[in-house]
Chain A
Amino acid sequence: MPKKAAVEHEIVSISVDLGVTTPDNLRHIEFGLEKDTGDDDTVTWTIHFKFQERDSTNDSFVDVVTLDVAVKEKNHPAAEATAKEGLTDPQVDHLNGPVTVASQKLNAGQTTEDRVSRLVEGTLPKH
């Protein structure tokens, strides 16, 4: 009987975080993904999204929105692909456009966190 290949280590939890400030130093976007395997071996993916803005480089960045979004199981393959292959152009455009505007609307009390969270999660299927 062939020997089972030895696995020296098992990854329980991993996170990758990206933060980019635009070269004009007026906007800062953070996008993070984390993957955890729980005690029942359930895999969960979580998106972290933060958007900061300022009117002038003399000002400090102000948090427009900070979100932690649990990814639905149907989007797990897209989360895995995004983590391993990076954001695509449509994903970047989605974060820069609708997600940014929705964040501002949330900050102004014009929409709900649930709505914005779904919009953020909507980044993944665009991969």
Chain B
Amino acid sequence: MRLGTQWLARALVFVTLSGSVFVATTPVAYADDSELQPAGTCDHPPSFYSSAHYKIAAIRTTSPFDYLHGVRQLMNDALGSTNLHVGDDFTAQSVIEGRRKIREQLNQAADAGNLPVKVNVVSAEIENCHADRQPHSLDVVYITFSTWTPFLLPRTFESQASQTDDPASASGVRKKKFQLVPQVGYNATAKVFGGGRTSLATGAGKFDAGVSASSEILAVDGSFSGQHTWADGWIRTAEWRTGFTYDDAPTGTNRLKRARLTAAVFADSAPISSSSSIVRFGVLIGGGHDQSNLAADQLPSGSPASSPIGEFKTYAGISGRAGRNSFKVSYGLQIGEADSGLHVDFAKHIADAAYSVRFLPSPHKPLELDARLTGGWIQNLGAIPAAERFFGGNAEQEFLMGDSWRIRAAPFIRSIPQNRLNRLAPDAPIGGENFMSANITLGVTAWKHPLMPEEIRTNADFRSLLGSELKSAQKTLESYWISKDKAVSDVLSGAPQASGAVRELRKNFDRVKGSVPAALSGRSDDCDFQIMLAEGFADILETEKNPSKRFIAMKSLIAEGDDGSIDNLMGCINDLRTLFGADVADAMISKFKGIQDPARAALSKLDKATAQQKAARDMAFINQTVNTVVDEMNFVSLSPIAIFDVARIGPQTSAAGGGFRYGVGGGVRFTLLDTIRFDAGYAVNPDPKPWEGRGAAFFSLEVVSLFR
């Protein structure tokens, strides 16, 4: 409910954030061309500019992630520790030094992240070379791209959703222990409202508190929560939360008030097998009071207008994504007792499904489609408090307040104000005992400011360098996975003979190395090194328990012509044959060949295709992230949106309460970092009933999947 009413304050945060990037990515303007040295262009090698004493007019740093204070600060700190200054004579050496410092800092930051794969590209360029100015001048531009930076941002649907109340941290812009976000807004039910949210992170947990108030509504909540994350195991994150909520909101002519004290435990799983799907589940117990001013004779028998309440809630769900598709399906069960004594008075069931897809007809201009289908029903087992009935409208209501997994718990329709979808009959605005609602939103990006700076997007070398490094990472992982093939034991079957042969060669070599003639001394030194490497492989074969490491050692021994390989050892034996003696040399070569041939045959039978598949799977998320950043991600974008909603509460006799209600409309979507999405618009009620308006303005804020 609060989500839809906090839009304005969040919008203010967006404006602040977007301002920082525009400053960082000021486009470069080039001057007029001339015949030989077009002003502003740089078509000479560095020596030309250093010998002509060009002055450095500006030093800029550019990165897709320089909206992150940490990245920008890192690059500026790196440059601050060099001898590169505006106004100095340009020298390639000082520019190179700056590039090295940035590289060093980026590598250190990446190492701290402990990520499986990192790629850093740092380029130092000169541009805006002006021979037409006195003194001659040029700009120095440092461009960086790091594949690991996005992983510092929240990366799962769930972790992002948990930060809905804090768009700035959801976008990775800041992480503070104490936060205070003021809010002000308007909707037809609440009228003009104001309030704020604050949080304080401590070593023991996090305190959260919020308040929204107007002449019509009051919503207050507070909680203390903590979580633990495991690196391994089926459960990845567990969270506990205890707190209170109080809501007081009108439903038209009546009011609903709910007060709760709750304690909850939630957990989510590690990704299921190789997919990105996770399972989430949790339980909550609570107690409090529900109040309404509905007249008792309006309510069905056994439905008290006001009542103390105890409740137990549990839920489970699954979410996942594949390519540009993402989905979430959840089921929630609430068991409640509406009076004193231990007995179940009602059971509320909620089913909620969401699906999003994103098409990319052209780079950075996505077409987004979001669909949601929600339904619920209440089993009357004795009494249903009025406040527990279903009241719908254009404000989200959540099944579990404060949980990062958001399950919609009431009908959502944007053409009807908050809580006003409540009639079972013209004179019965008492809320429903069942409901369904379906919502579709289509957005087409009309204007965008890509995250990737122009200098990088248009640099032909950059994409190939980035692609080559990702390819290298995949090759390295392929090599690892081939070492995990069950059939490596066949390759290793000759390991004892291989290490024995290497030891024998060393023994024979040491016997003759004192009598090496001058003409063979260089070759002898080289062979000494080759044998030392082979001994290193033999050490691993003899002592290492890890089969992968033993396999890599054996593979190196039988490699074609590589250092320390049997090929090279046999070359040494042949070259030093006169020293070893023909019989000894032939015997050693025969032994090595007898080891090498069957091992190579076993190596050729390993399942390389499966290793490639596993490496591709390991790299899929990284490649997808990089491609998303380069080809899709916008820092800010504006999109016209079209919406269609349908909702109904029941039971209704002959659609006396209006039956299915519809909402059709449009508006605009502001998106920050393809992560924080703010929709505003107007939805028309095409067939308004006498108790309904012609439509309603709607606002919503969502934190969505960053890398789909």
Q: Do A and B belong to a common assembly?
A: yes
The answer to whether B461 touches A11 (Cβ under 8 A) is: yes
Residues of A within 8 A of B529 (CB): 111, 115
Q: Tell yes or no: B329 within 8 A of A by CB.
A: no
**Contact (A10, B44) CB under 8 Å given A21-B117, A92-B475, A97-B559:** yes
Distance (Å) between the CB of B178 and the closest chain A CB? 32
B35 CB to nearest chain A CB (Å): 7
Interface contact B117-A10, CB-CB below 8 Å:
no
* With known contacts A18-B118, A92-B475, A111-B532, A101–B564 Cβ distance under 8 A: yes
Q: B283 in the interface, Cβ–Cβ < 8 Å?
A: no
Q: How far is the CA of A83 from the CA of B120 in the complex (A)?
A: 12
Q: Which residues of A contact B (CB under 8 A)?
A: 1, 3-24, 26, 29-32, 34, 36-41, 57, 82-98, 100-102, 104-105, 110-111, 115, 119, 122, 126
Q: B473 at interface (Cβ–Cβ under 8 A)?
A: yes
Residue on A with the closest CB to B537? A101
Is A19 a contact partner of B118 (Cβ separation < 8 A)? yes
In the bound complex, what is the Cα–Cα distance between A48 and B43 (angstroms)?
30
B564 to chain A, nearest CB (A): 5
Asked if B44 contacts A104 (CB within 8 A), the reply is no
12 pairs across A/B with beta carbons < 8 Å?
A4-B38, A9-B42, A12-B126, A14-B122, A18-B117, A18-B119, A20-B477, A21-B115, A37-B92, A39-B47, A39-B50, A93-B556
Binds A, one of B192-200, B463-471, B624-632: B463-471
Instruction: Indicate whether A8 sits within 8 Å of B475 (C-beta atoms), given known contacts A17-B120, A24-B548, A101-B536.
Output: no
Asked if A92 contacts B92 (CB within 8 A), the reply is no
In the complex, chain A residues whose CB is within 8 Å of the CB of B514: none
Chain B interfacial positions (CB closer than 8 Å to A): 30, 33, 35-36, 38, 40-47, 50-51, 91-93, 95-96, 99-100, 103, 106-107, 110-111, 115-127, 129, 141, 231, 455, 461, 464-473, 475-481, 529, 532-533, 536-537, 540, 546, 548, 552-553, 555-556, 559, 562-564, 618
**Distance A123 CA – B47 CA, assembled complex (angstroms):** 31
Contact of B556 (CB < 8 Å), options: A5, A13, A16, A98 = A98
Q: In the complex, how many angstroms separate the beta carbon of A47 from the nearest chain B beta carbon?
A: 13
* Residue from A30, A32, A93, A115 with most neighbouring chain B CB atoms (10 Å): A93
Given contact pairs A4-B35, A110-B532, A126-B562, a sample of 14 additional A-B residue pairs in the complex whose CB atoms are under 8 Å apart: A8-B40, A8-B41, A8-B42, A9-B127, A17-B107, A17-B120, A32-B103, A36-B99, A39-B92, A86-B472, A86-B475, A96-B476, A96-B552, A105-B532
Chain B residue with minimal CB distance to A84?
Answer: B464
Bound Cα distance from A102 to B45, whole angstroms: 39
Min Cβ gap A41→B in Å is: 5
Q: A7-B43, A10-B125 are in contact. Are A93 and B50 (CB under 8 A)?
A: no
Q: Which of B478, B481, B536 has the most CB of A within 10 A?
A: B536
Is the beta-carbon distance between A98 and B117 smaller than 8 angstroms?
no
Chain B residue with minimal CB distance to A25?
B116
| CB-defined contacts of B129 to chain A, threshold 8 Å | 10
Give every chain B residue within 8 A of A98 (Cβ-Cβ): 533, 556, 562-564
Measured between alpha carbons, how far is A92 from B50 in the docked complex, in Å?
A: 39
Which residues of the partner chain A approach B476 to less than 8 Å between Cβ atoms? 18, 20, 29, 87, 92, 95-96
Residues from chain B with a CB closer than 8 A to the CB of A88 are: 475
Which 3 A/B pairs are nearest by Cβ-Cβ distance?
Answer: A97-B556, A101-B536, A86-B471
B548, closest chain A residue (CB): A24
Kindly report which residue of chain A lies nearest to residue B51, judged by CB atoms.
A39
Residues of A within 8 A of B44 (CB): 10
- How far is B110's CA from A8's CA once the two chains are assembled, in angstroms? 31
Q: Chain A nearest CB: distance from B151 CB in Å?
A: 13
Residue pair B618, A23 in contact (C-beta under 8 Å): yes
Partner of A17, one of B51, B93, B118: B118
**Contact among A12, A24, A84 for B96, CB-based, below 8 A:** A12
Q: Which residues of A contact B536 (CB under 8 A)?
A: 101-102, 104-105
Measured CA separation A29–B117 after assembly (Å): 10
Taking CB atoms, residues of chain B closer than 8 Å to A36 are: 92, 96, 99
Q: Which residues of A contact B35 (CB under 8 A)?
A: 1, 3-4
- Complex CA distance for A22 and B479, rounded to whole angstroms: 10
Q: Which of A12, A92, A101, A110 has the most CB of B within 10 A?
A: A12
In the bound assembly, the distance between CA atoms of A13 and B51 in angstroms comes to 18
Answer whether A10 and B126 are a contact pair too, CB < 8 Å, given A31-B472, A97-B552, A119-B563.
yes
In angstroms, how far is the closest chain A Cβ from the Cβ of B486? 16
**Which among A12, A16, A17, A92 is the interface contact of B46 at CB below 8 angstroms?**
A12
Query: Does A16 contact B563, Cβ atoms closer than 8 Å?
Result: no
Partner of A15, one of B47, B103, B468: B103
Cβ–Cβ < 8 Å partners of B475 in chain A: 86-89, 91-92
Contacts of B466 in A (CB 8 A): 16
B469 touches A16 (CB 8 A): yes
Nearest CB in chain A: distance from B100 CB, A: 8
Contacts of A21 in B (CB 8 A): 115-117
Report which of A16, A97, A102 forms a contact with B555, defined as CB distance below 8 A: A97
Asked, given contacts A93-B556, A104-B536, A115-B529, whether A6 binds B43 with beta carbons under 8 Å apart, the answer is yes
Q: When the two chains form their complex, are residues A10 and B472 in contact, meaning their CB atoms are under 8 A apart? A: no
